[in-house]
Structure 1
C-alpha cells in the first residue's frame, strides 16, 4: 500500500510539473526560452576605468530603455568608428560589459543597450519588443553627432546576434542612414524556431511537444532567411566548436546562407567567451578595419 501511494504521489508530481512547464512555455509564446533578464548591477564601466554616459531612450510603445555610451579612448576626432553591441539572453548589460570593454582602448566608441525588462529598462521582454528596442537604439545612434561620418558596426552575441540579423537586413533594405559598415555575429543561433525545437527536444518533459510549442514562436525573424539581404554589407560569423549552448552547426548554417562579402572565424572557447582571447580580438579588429 505504501509503495502504491508513493507511485501515485510521484505520478501526480510529474503531471503537475508537466502542466507547469507547458503553461510557462505557452503563456509567453515560448519567450521564456530566449529571455532571462535580471536587474542586478554586476559591473559598471568606471570600475574598469572607462568613461561612460547613461543613455535613456523612450520607445514608441511607451517603454524606457537604458544603455551605456562608452567613448573611444582617443581624441573625439580620431575615433575609428562605433560598435553597437547587442548582448545575450541572460542578466543585463552590466554582466556583458567585459565583452566590449576592450574596444574603447582600440579607438572605437561603444553603445550597449538593455532590451525591455533587462537592467534599468522597463517592461517585459518578448521577441517583437526586443526587435523594436534594438531598432530604437540604432536610430538613436544615427542621430548621435559622435557617430556621424565614421563607420558603424553591429556586434551581436548569441540572442543579440539573432536580433541583429533582421535589424541589419531591414536597415540595409530601406537604405537607412548611416549605412552599416559591418555585422559581427558571435555564437548566434540560425533561427528562433530552430533553436527552440532543439532545446525543447533535449528535455524529456518537453520532447513530445517540441514541434507544436515551436509553432508559438513567430516565424518572421529566422536569421537564415534574412542574412542574405544584408549584402553588400560585410558579415563576420564567429562560432566555437566548443559552444555548449548554441551548437556549431548554427554558425555554419548562417555562413552558408549569407552572401559575400563574408568571413567565418572558428573559435575554441566556451559560449560567449570569444573576447577573452587576444587573437580573436585581433581578428575582429582586422575585419572592421578592412583589407
Structure 2
C-alpha cells in the first residue's frame, strides 16, 4: 500500500499537467464530425450555411426556415459534444411553430474548420449572430438567443456585451437552458468529482479564465428578458447552477423548473409551450 500511494500521486500529477497544458479546454469541448441526422430526415427544409470568422476560420451551420409566415428568428447555440447534427432535434419543432432557426457549429465541430477553445467559441457565437443580422436585413422580426448547456454559457457571455453596446440586430429575449454558473465554477466542480484531479481542483480551475462567468455577466443582459431553464434531474450540471444564474439575473426574468435529463427540455410539449409563451410575451413587451 505504501508503494501504491506515490504511484497514484504520480498518475494524478501527470493528469493535472496534461489538463493544465490545454487550459482545461478538454472539460468544455467534445467535438466530432460524424453526421447523426440531417434536417431532411425530419421532414424539415434547410439550407447549408457557410460563414467566415474574422480570424480566418470557416463555420458551417444550418438555416431551418419557418413553416408559413415567420413569427421570429431563433439563434441556437448547442452544447459541448458532437455537432449540430446531434442537436437538431432540440429545435426541430420550432419551424412548425413559425420560427426560423439558425444553428452554427463552433470551430472544430462538424464541418467547421479550426480547433476548439473558449475564446474561439465565443468569437464564433458572435460571428453567427452578425451573419443572422445580415440575413435578416431590415426585418423587424423578433430575435431570440437560445443556448443549451455550453451554448447557454456562450449565449450569456455574448448577450452581456451585445446588449450594452446596443448592437444590431437587437435581441428580443435570451434563453439559457441547462447551463452552468461560470466556466471556472463548473471546471472546479468537475475536477473535484474525479479522484485523479481532486487534489488539484483549485490550481487547475485557475487555468480557466473567470472573465466570462455567467453569474457575473447575466445582469448586463437587462432590460432584455431572460429565461433560465434547469431540471431537477440534471445529472451533468446540477440545478444549483441554474438557480444561481436566475438569482444573479435582473428583471425581467423567468425561471422554468423542469424534470428532464440534461438538455432534454424540449422533448416534452409542455416545456415547448412554456418557451413559446415566454417568447410571445417578450415580443409584446420589448420595443423593436
The question of a shared fold, defined as TM-score above 0.5 by the shorter chain, is answered with yes
Question: For 2:272, what is the secondary structure of its paired residue?
Answer: helix
**Separation in structure 2 between the aligned mates of residue 17 and residue 97 of structure 1, nearest angstrom:** 39
**CA displacement at 1:14 relative to structure 2:** 3.6
CA offsets per residue over residues 179-211 of structure 1, 9 Å max, x none?
100001110000001111111111111111111
Query: TM-score, normalized by length of structure 1?
Result: 0.93
Partner of residue 236, structure 1: 227
Give the CA deviation at 1:178: 1.4
Specify the alignment match of 1:200 in structure 2: 191
Structure 2: 5+ residue stretches without partners? none
Tell me the C-alpha RMSD between the 2 structures.
1.6
State the match for 1:133 in structure 2: 124
The answer on whether the counterparts of 1:81 and 1:147 sit within 8 Å (CA) in structure 2 is: no
Whether 2:145 is the aligned partner of 1:151: answer no
Q: 1:26 aligns with which of 11, 15, 20?
A: 20
Matches of 1:30 and 1:70 in 2, distance apart?
34
- The structure with the largest alpha-carbon Rg is 1
The C-alpha deviation readout for 1:132-179, integer Å capped at 9, x for no partner, is 000000000111137821000010000000000010111101100111
Q: How much does 1:11 deviate?
A: 6.2
| Contact 1:141–1:147 under 8 Å retained in 2 | no
Structure 1 equivalent of residue 72 of structure 2: 81
Counterparts in 2 of 1:146 and 1:281: CA distance versus 1, 3 Å: farther
1:21–1:81 distance in 2 versus 1, CA, 3 Å? same
Bigger Cα displacement from structure 2, 142-151 vs 93-102: 142-151
Give the TM-score, by structure 2 length.
Answer: 0.94
SS in 1 for 2:161: helix
Cα gap change, 1:164/1:147 in structure 2, threshold over 3 Å: closer, same or farther?
farther
Number of aligned residue pairs: 282
